Structure 1
Amino acid sequence: MMHRFVGPVDWGSAVFDDMVGARHLPYFAELANLTDGDPAWRSVSAGLVVLRLVDAWITEGAGVVAADGWGVRSVEAAIEEMPAGQPARALLRSVVDAVKESPAGDMHAIAPRLMAYARALDLDAKWALAADVYETVIAHVHPVEESDVAITAHLRLGACQRFLGALTEASRTFETASAIATEVNDIVGILKAQIGTAKLALARGNMPGAERILDETIARAAQSDDLVEVRAVALQDRADVAFHRARYDLAVELAYRSRELTTDSINRDRLLADIAAAFYMLGVHTAAKDAYQILEATAQEQYIRWLASINLMEIAARDGSMPLFERYRRALAGTTLPPALEARFHLQTAESHEALGQASAALDAAGRARDVAERYQFNEMLFAAEAVVARVTQGRGAVPLAPEISVPASLRDIAATIRDLRSKVPAGGD
C-alpha cells in the first residue's frame, strides 16, 4: 500500500498546490516508491514542501511566509514530523528560518543552507534528490554576482548526474561551471570543472583523454599554494587513471600523495578505497582487505560503504569462502544501488561466480551487468561483462589475479599505516 500523509500539512494551500507535472519530480518519484510506514516518507515529503515554499517565496513574495500564514506553519509541521536526530531536519528548519527572515527574492542566506541540505542528500547517495536541490539553487542565484554558489552548485550537480549515469547532461553542466568560472576569473572553479570533465572521460573509457586533462590540471594547480586541495583532487583522479592502465603501484603512490594533501574527510575515505583497489590488483591482498574493512565500518558516505562491501564480497569469493561471499551478495542484492554501483555489483558478482566455478550464475550476473552498462553507457564495465561471457562460454576460466606478494619496499609505510588503522576498528563479519 502506498503511503498517504495524514498529518498536519495542508496540501491544498498555496505552497502545496499544482504538485503533479511541476518542479521537483524526483521527489514525487521517490515518494511513489516508499511504502506506508516508511520513515523516509516524512523526510522526503518535508524536503519537497520546503522546496515548494522557496519556489512560492521567490514567485509570490514575502506574504507566503507571513507569521500567521498557514503555508509556512504547515511546512514547519512537516519538518517536525521527520525522524529525530536526522541531519536534514535541522538543515530544512534553517532554510525555513532564513526564508522568513530574508527580503523577498534575496537568496544570500538561503542558498548556502539549501546547498548544505543537498550535500546531505548527496552523501546519503540520494543523487536524484540532491540534483533537484542543486538545480533549485542554480535557478535562483545570479551566476556572476553569486558566482561562488553558482559554480559549486553546477559542480555538485554534474557529479550527481555522473553518478546517475546521465553523462551527456553532466558534460553540459561542467561546461557551464567552467564558463561561469572563466567569466569571474575563478581559477579554482575552472580547474574543478576540468576535473569533472576528466571523470566523464574516464567513465566513457577515454583514458588518454582523462590522463591529458588531469596532468594539465595537476601542473596548473602546482603553481600556487592556494590550489593544494585542487591538486589533491586531481592527483586522486590521476591515480584512478593509473589504476585503469594497470599501473597499480603508481596508483597507490598517487592516491596516498593525494590523501596526504587533502583535509576533506570524505575524500580521504574515497582515497582509501582507491588505495585498497590498487593494492588488491597489485597482489597485496591483506592490505586491500584491511582498507575495505575500515571503510565498511567507518566511511561517512553510503556509496563508499556499498563499494567496500562489493569488494569484500569479491575477496571472499577469490579466497574460496562461499558462506561469506553469499552473505555479502544477498545483502547487496536486496539493496537499491545507483546505476554505476549496480553495474559494478553485477559485474563483480559475475567474476566471483566465475572464480568459484559457477558458470551458469556467472553468465546470469554478467548479463545483468551488461544490461545496466548498456543503458547508462558505462563502456568499460560493458567490455568487462562481455569478457566474462566470452571466457565462461569458451571454458577459458577466470582471469587469474596477481598472486599474494610481499609489500613492495616503496609501499611498505603505506601498508603499515593501513594495518594500524584496521587494528582500531571492531572486527567485522570475516
Structure 2
Amino acid sequence: MVRHQVFFESLGALDASDPGWSSPFAGLSVLRIVDSLAAAADAPNAAHRAAINAARATARSIREGDPSRAILLRIFDLLEKPNGLTGALARELLAYGRSLDLEGRWPLAADVFGTVAEKFRSRRNRAIVIESLTALGAAARNTGDWETSERSYAEAQHMADSAGDRARSLTAQVGIANSHVAHGNLPAADAELEEVFAEAGTAGLQQVEAIALHTRAYLAIASGDYQNAVHYGYRSLELTIDETARDRILGDIAAAYAGLGLRETARDGFLIVAVTSPHQWVRWQATLNLMELAIEDGAERLFDDYYAQVQNEPLDPRLRAFLLLLKARGFRTFGRAGSEALFAAAHEEATRHRLHQIAFEVEAEAKRERQPVNVPGRATVAEFEVYPGELDRIAEVLMHLRKEVVAG
C-alpha cells in the first residue's frame, strides 16, 4: 500500500483549483517530509528546505478560519530547524491530526496519528506517542477499521502502564469502553468504566473522570437509561476543561432528553450545537438528531430540509447508518414508498461495519407499526425523577443557552 494513500485519494477527488485542495496537499507534504527526515536521521538538507518552502506557500493559501492553517504553518517552521524530529514537532502533528478529527476527516486523521506514533518513538516522546495511539484508536473506530482501533488502544494502554502513566492508561481504557458500546457489548463497556471510575476517583484524576462520565452517558443512552444519561452528561460537562469535548457532551445530553420524550429541551440542545459548534462532525450529528425530532413532530418539510443538509456529506459509517435509519423512519411516518428497502440498507451498513448497537435498533424499528405523529412526549418529569429537580434545572440551562444563541 502506498504510504499516506488516503491523502492521495483525497487529493484525487479534488481539482487543484478547488478551495479545499490546499489543506490536504500541505498535510501530505508534511507527512512525506517527516518520513524523509526519519529515514535520513539527519537535519533538513537543501532538498528538504525546498519542499518545505513550496508546501508552506500552499499552506498560506488555505482559507482563513481553517484550524489546520495555523498548525501547518507552525509545523513548517519546526521542520526547518536543525534538530530534526523534536517533541515540539510531534505535538504540533498531533494537533493537526486532532483538527482533522474534529472535522470528521477520520481517514486523514488516522494517517497523521499513525505517523506520529511510528516516527517519534524515543523515550522523551512517550506521552505524545501514547496520546497519538489513543487518538488513532478512536479515529480508526470511526472509519470502521476495528483491527487498527483495537491494536492502537491496546498498545497505548501497554505503553502507559509500562511508564506508570495511569491517567493515559485509563484514558485508553475509556476508548475501549466506547468501542464496546459501538459493538453493542454494553456489559463489557460498563465493566471497563467501573474499573476506570474506581481508580480515577482514588487518584484524583478529574479529567479522566470527565471523559469516563461522558462515555457513561453514551452507554446510558444506548441502554435506554435516559435520566442517568442526562445526569452523567451534565456532570461530565461540569468537570471537563476540554473545550472540544463540550459540544459532544451537550449533544448527548440533548439526545437523552429526546429519549425521555422531552422534545423541546432536546431541540434546544441540538440547535445550540448545530449553530455554534466549530466542529463539522458534531454539527452533522446534531442535524441528524434534529431530523429525528422532525419525524416525531410530524414536520415533513423540516425532515426534508435536514436530510438535504447531510445527504451528500462524507459521513462516517455510524452516522451513515443512522441517516439511513432515520430516512427509513421518515418515509414510513410520512407514508412514502421505499421504507423497507431503506431499513434493509441501514441494517446492511451497520452490520458491515460491526455497529451492532445500531443494527439492533434498525431490526427493532423495522418491526414497529407506523406511529402517529404530533403525540405528546412519552413521559413527564414528575412521573419518574431519579434526581429530584435535576431534569428541570438542566432543561432551564439549555433553554437560556439557546436564547443567547438566537439573540446572537
Give deviations 1:119-176, integer Å, cap 9, x for gaps: 1111111111111111111111126432110110001111101111112221111000
Taking the aligned partners of 1:166 and 1:426, their CA distance within structure 2 comes to 39
Taking the aligned partners of 1:64 and 1:36, their CA distance within structure 2 comes to 28
**Greater alpha carbon shift after TM alignment, 205-214 vs 137-146:** 137-146
Taking the aligned partners of 2:138 and 2:174, their CA distance within structure 1 comes to 10
**Greater alpha carbon shift after TM alignment, 376-385 vs 69-78:** 69-78
1:210 Cα deviation (Å)? 0.4
**Greater alpha carbon shift after TM alignment, 419-428 vs 185-194:** 419-428
Taking the aligned partners of 2:372 and 2:203, their CA distance within structure 1 comes to 44
DSSP-derived class of the 1:425 partner? helix
Residue 381 of structure 1 is matched in structure 2 by 358
Q: Does 1:120 find its partner at 2:99?
A: yes
Residue 14 of structure 1 is matched in structure 2 by none
1:89 Cα deviation (Å)? 2.0
Structural mapping, 1:18-97, within 5 Å: 22-35=2-15, 37-60=17-40, 62=42, 64-66=44-46, 69-97=49-77
Taking the aligned partners of 2:404 and 2:70, their CA distance within structure 1 comes to 32
Residue 397 of structure 1 is matched in structure 2 by 370
DSSP-derived class of the 1:424 partner? helix
1:305 Cα deviation (Å)? 0.6
Taking the aligned partners of 2:122 and 2:156, their CA distance within structure 1 comes to 9
Residue 8 of structure 1 is matched in structure 2 by none
Distance 1:138-1:249 versus aligned 2 partners, 3 A rule: same
Residue 390 of structure 2 is matched in structure 1 by 410
Distance 1:381-1:218 versus aligned 2 partners, 3 A rule: same
Query: Which of residues 277, 286, 289 in structure 2 aligns to 1:311?
Result: 289
Contact 1:159/1:170 (<8 A) preserved = yes
Taking the aligned partners of 2:326 and 2:118, their CA distance within structure 1 comes to 40
Taking the aligned partners of 2:71 and 2:131, their CA distance within structure 1 comes to 18
1:63 Cα deviation (Å)? 6.0
Supply the AA of the counterpart residue of 1:182: D
Residue 322 of structure 1 is matched in structure 2 by 300
1:427 Cα deviation (Å)? 7.5
Query: Which of residues 113, 134, 159 in structure 2 aligns to 1:134?
Result: 113
Query: Which of residues 171, 176, 179 in structure 1 aligns to 2:150?
Result: 171
Taking the aligned partners of 1:364 and 1:281, their CA distance within structure 2 comes to 26
Identity between Structure 1 and Structure 2 (%): 34
Give deviations 1:227-283, integer Å, cap 9, x for gaps: 001001111111222222211111111111111111112211111111111111112
1:363 Cα deviation (Å)? 1.8
Unaligned runs of 5+ in 1: 1-20
1:71 Cα deviation (Å)? 2.7
Give deviations 1:180-210, integer Å, cap 9, x for gaps: 0011000001111110111111111000110
DSSP-derived class of the 2:404 partner? coil
Taking the aligned partners of 1:302 and 1:319, their CA distance within structure 2 comes to 26
Supply the AA of the counterpart residue of 2:290: L
Q: Does 1:340 find its partner at 2:330?
A: no
Query: Which of residues 334, 338, 348 in structure 2 aligns to 1:356?
Result: 334
Taking the aligned partners of 2:4 and 2:403, their CA distance within structure 1 comes to 45
TM-score (norm 1): 0.88
Taking the aligned partners of 2:208 and 2:372, their CA distance within structure 1 comes to 37
Q: As a proportion of its length, which structure holds more helix?
A: 2
Contact 1:407/1:415 (<8 A) preserved = no
1:96 Cα deviation (Å)? 1.6
Q: Does 1:154 find its partner at 2:133?
A: yes
Supply the AA of the counterpart residue of 1:306: W
Taking the aligned partners of 1:141 and 1:254, their CA distance within structure 2 comes to 36
Give deviations 1:375-422, integer Å, cap 9, x for gaps: 21111212222333333xxxx334998725444433111111111101
Contact 1:143/1:180 (<8 A) preserved = no
DSSP-derived class of the 1:276 partner? helix
Q: Does 1:205 find its partner at 2:184?
A: yes
Taking the aligned partners of 2:209 and 2:351, their CA distance within structure 1 comes to 33
**Greater alpha carbon shift after TM alignment, 36-45 vs 146-155:** 36-45
Q: Does 1:423 find its partner at 2:399?
A: no
Unaligned runs of 5+ in 2: 383-388
Contact 1:363/1:388 (<8 A) preserved = no
Structural mapping, 1:214-233, within 5 Å: 214-225=193-204, 227-233=205-211
DSSP-derived class of the 1:337 partner? coil
DSSP-derived class of the 2:124 partner? coil
Taking the aligned partners of 1:194 and 1:402, their CA distance within structure 2 comes to 40
What is the root-mean-square deviation of aligned Cα atoms in Å?
2.1
Residue 6 of structure 1 is matched in structure 2 by none
**Greater alpha carbon shift after TM alignment, 302-311 vs 333-342:** 333-342
Contact 1:314/1:349 (<8 A) preserved = no
Query: Which of residues 217, 230, 245 in structure 2 aligns to 1:252?
Result: 230
Taking the aligned partners of 1:143 and 1:371, their CA distance within structure 2 comes to 43
Distance 1:399-1:383 versus aligned 2 partners, 3 A rule: farther
**Greater alpha carbon shift after TM alignment, 127-136 vs 363-372:** 363-372
